Amino acid sequence: MLREMVRSLAEAKIAPFAAEVDEQGRFPQEALKALVGADLHAVHVPESYGGAGADALATVIVIEEVARVCASSSLIPVVNKLGSLPVILSGSEERKKAYLGPLAKGEAMFSYCLSEPDAGSDAAAMKTKAVRDGDYWILNGVKRWITNAGVSEYYTVMAVTDPEKRSKGISAFVVEKSDEGVSFGAPEKKLGIKGSPTREVYFDNVRIPADRMIGAEGTGFATAMKTLDHTRITIAAQALGIAQGALDYAKGYVKERKQFGKAIAEFQGIQFMLADMAMKLEAARQLTYAAAAKSERGDDDLTFFGAAAKCFASDAAMEITTDAVQLLGGYGYTRDYPLERMMRDAKITQIYEGTNQVQRIVMARNLP
């Protein structure tokens, strides 16, 4: 029922704008309005804070169905979870009430600030600093590759509070867009997900109350990594949706396209390609749903499964979308059809929330 409801909404209110959003590189405002209206923009927020209280699997299904028609729009529920999960996992009751309520109501979006110009895969090498000043912290630094930056009202920011302790000297804070000293760089000109703004975030003597710290001092990096264990599954979900959208479109096309006197769907070479695409997609979906169940239960092997789902699903999405472009031949290479967009959008799922090379390191260190 949930899948049918989200698919119906996505096809009616998000899909019609997907090509335009990509072409113009603009934020998918129509999608935000539709998702907020249906309470699908941040389904993971617990009911006790005014949210829908969706479990990890339901959240995956929502993201998957939105991504099936528009990857950029799927980053609304994806990044709302990524940005707010540190507050849910480690924040005080006061922080939860202050920030999860407006998020659940659709009054604010949440972003996640971990990466920096010189700290990507090696996130512990970050240089953004937070210095204590009485009842306040003063933040200075730059964060890069921040999804939905400038649109989101709230930002979970990782900053160094004790440079001597490396990862154990990093703390997490909530910074608000309206805080004095917060500013944004120009939107990045990207290969895909063009409707989701990606910008640098600058902190210039940003003074925030001490109670905006998430969890205890020095626990920020651990919270960041624990968050990614759960949210990598949402990237797997996004990859599944993009791949499903590409497969669905290609299936319809090959039944209509005729060459040598018959539909190309009747040729074994085409049938084998479609079979392989469907097989990879279903394997990725089963792994992702198993990982989502582990996320919900908090299983000990979640770190492995989260990395495996993200890595496998994103690799599958890249292969499936590339094959879908091939099935349309020259038409697949044009912007008149959605597959070239899906192929471009799929690529980022192999890169963000930890490159697939890093996922393999994570898996190797956490072999079940």
Task: Answer yes or no: are the C-beta atoms of 182 and 161 closer than 8 Å.
Answer: no
* Strand ranges (E), 165-225: 170-176, 182-184, 198-209, 213-214
Structure tokens at 356: 């697939």
Nearest-angstrom CA–CA distance, 86 and 81: 9
Give, rounded to a whole angstrom, the gap between the first and last alpha carbons of the chain.
34
Q: How many helices (H) and strands (E) does the chain have?
A: 11, 10
Task: Answer yes or no: are the C-beta atoms of 156 and 112 closer than 8 Å.
Answer: yes
Could you tell me the CA-to-CA distances from 191 to 72, 164, 283, 322, 325 in Å, in that order? 12, 38, 27, 15, 16
Distance of CA 53 to the CA centre of its chain: 19
Closest CA to 66 of 21, 100, 125: 21
Closest CA to 11 of 265, 278, 338: 338
Closest CA to 273 of 224, 226, 332: 332
Sign of the dihedral defined by the CA atoms of residues 307, 148, 67, 355, in that order: negative
Task: Answer yes or no: are the C-beta atoms of 71 and 22 closer than 8 Å.
Answer: no
Out of 65, 116, 340, 353, the active site residue is: 353
Distance of CA 76 to the CA centre of its chain: 8
Look up 353 and say whether it is catalytic: yes
Q: Which residues are catalytic?
A: 353
